[in-house]
């Protein structure tokens, strides 16, 4: 009997020793801390916010040259000018502001506000896909005398941008757009006549739409961030004064109205 109990004790000791060795093997050690660390590493690697510049919201590894354009957002649409006559307050619409270009009122006008004839000054406005024509009331159309006394545009340099709204920087008055310039610029020549000039636009819309998709892809980067929401994308047309007809009395270049047609 004594020998029987000794054998049982020996078997029990052997079983406990084997179980302890099994628990101490590398395959059975607690790896919860390693799992937490690996999860943190993965979170950093796929963080969709890390790829964007905090101020501009443009991907840090973007391939295009991006610029920021801020514009008024109003009933007149998206528009901004480089300067305007007799207005030093950027938060107020002045008597010769860019909004006058889109009010269907020929008794008002936009007039650039720099010293000299305004070569290089410009205005920008939003256009939609498919426009084919501009109608421009060049000069100050309130009267024949005002038309002749002030400068008129002889030639515009036209540039198109693809602009993506940066909703992080919107205000009650301004919208901000991250933009890429479309390489196909063109010129608009205007006769010195007090009339509505109809200008056919040499825009290859298939090519421009394809370019827009490339810009969007560059803007989105490698990841799709749900916090950015649905993108608001515009085409922005910049008309820059490249040459003028001199006025008899004043050295301010004026444009009364601009319309787009499809």
Task: Say if 107 falls within a structural domain.
Answer: yes
Same domain, 126 and 256: yes
Are residues 103 and 148 part of one domain? yes
Same domain for 158 and 31, yes or no, is: no
In the three-class reduction of DSSP (H, G, I as helix; E, B as strand; rest coil), residue 57 is classed as coil
Does 210 or 50 have the greater pLDDT score? 210
Q: Are 121 and 154 in contact (CB under 8 A)?
A: no
At 166, is the pLDDT very low, low, confident or very high (cuts 50, 70, 90)? Answer: confident
- pLDDT of residue 32 exceeding 80: no
Residue 78 sits in the same domain as residue 30: no
Q: What is the mean pLDDT of residues 139-158?
A: 98
254 domain residue, yes or no:
yes
Task: Specify if 76 maps to a domain.
Answer: yes
Q: Is the model's pLDDT at 2 over the cut of 80?
A: no
- What average pLDDT does this structure show over 133-139? 98
Q: For the chain, give the percent of residues with pLDDT over 90.
A: 63
Helix (H) or strand (E) holding 43: helix 32-45
How many domains does the chain fold into? 2
Q: What is the pLDDT of residue 74?
A: 78
Same domain, 112 and 155: yes
- Does residue 50 lie in a domain region? no
Quote the domain boundaries for residue 22.
2-44
Among 8-17, 188-197, 226-235, the range scoring the smallest mean pLDDT is 8-17
204 and 168, same structural domain? yes
- Asked if residue 53 is part of any domain, the answer here is no
- The predicted-structure confidence for 61-86, as pLDDT tens digits, reads as follows 889 999 999 999 877 789 999 999 99
Q: Are 177 and 165 in contact (CB under 8 A)?
A: yes
Look at residue 119 and tell me if it is in a domain: yes
Total-model pTM: 0.78
Task: Indicate whether 52 belongs to any domain.
Answer: no
Query: Are residues 102 and 77 located together in one domain of the fold?
Result: yes
Would you tell me how many other CB atoms lie within 10 Å of the CB of residue 238? 20
6 and 78 within one domain: no
Same domain, yes or no, for 67 and 162?
Answer: yes
Whether pLDDT at 246 is above 90 = yes
Q: Say yes or no to pLDDT of 249 above 50.
A: yes
- Residues 167 and 248 both lie in one domain: yes
Q: What is the pLDDT of residue 26?
A: 43
Whether 115 and 183 map to the same domain: the answer is yes
Question: Does position 262 have pLDDT exceeding 50, yes or no?
Answer: yes
Provide, for the chain, the percentages of residues in helix, strand and coil under a 3-state DSSP scheme, each rounded to the nearest 5: 25, 30, 40
What is the pLDDT confidence band of residue 39, given thresholds at 50, 70 and 90?
very low
CATH of the domain at 213: 2.60.120.260
Q: How confident is the model at residue 36 (pLDDT cuts 50, 70, 90)?
A: very low
Q: Which structure tokens are listed for 97?
A: 């502001």
Q: Are residues 122 and 22 in the same domain?
A: no
51 falls within a domain:
no
């Amino acid at each position: 009997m004594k020998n029987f109990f000794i054998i049982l004790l020996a078997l029990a000791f052997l079983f406990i020793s084997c179980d302890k060795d099994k628990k101490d093997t590398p395959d059975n050690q607690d790896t919860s801390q390693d799992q937490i660390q690996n999860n943190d590493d993965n979170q950093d690697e796929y963080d969709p916010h890390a790829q964007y510049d905090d101020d501009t919201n443009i991907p840090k590894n973007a391939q295009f040259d991006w610029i920021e354009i801020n514009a008024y957002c109003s009933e007149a649409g998206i528009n901004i000018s480089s300067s305007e006559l007799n207005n030093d307050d950027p938060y107020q619409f002045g008597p010769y502001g860019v909004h006058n270009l889109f009010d269907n009122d020929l008794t008002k006008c936009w007039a650039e506000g720099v010293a000299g004839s305004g070569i290089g000054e410009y205005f920008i406005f939003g256009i939609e896909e498919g426009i084919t024509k501009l109608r421009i009331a060049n000069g100050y159309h309130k009267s024949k005398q005002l038309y002749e006394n002030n400068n008129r545009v002889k030639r515009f340099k036209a540039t198109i941008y693809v602009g993506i709204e940066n909703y992080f920087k919107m205000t009650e008055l301004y919208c901000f757009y991250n933009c890429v310039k479309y390489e196909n610029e063109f010129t608009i020549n205007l006769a010195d006549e007090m009339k509505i000039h109809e200008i056919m636009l040499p825009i290859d819309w298939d090519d421009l739409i394809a370019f827009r998709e490339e810009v969007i892809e560059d803007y989105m980067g490698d990841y799709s961030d749900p916090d950015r929401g649905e993108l608001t994308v515009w085409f922005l047309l910049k008309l820059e004064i490249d040459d003028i007809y001199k006025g008899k009395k004043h050295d301010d270049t004026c444009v009364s109205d601009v319309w787009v047609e499809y």
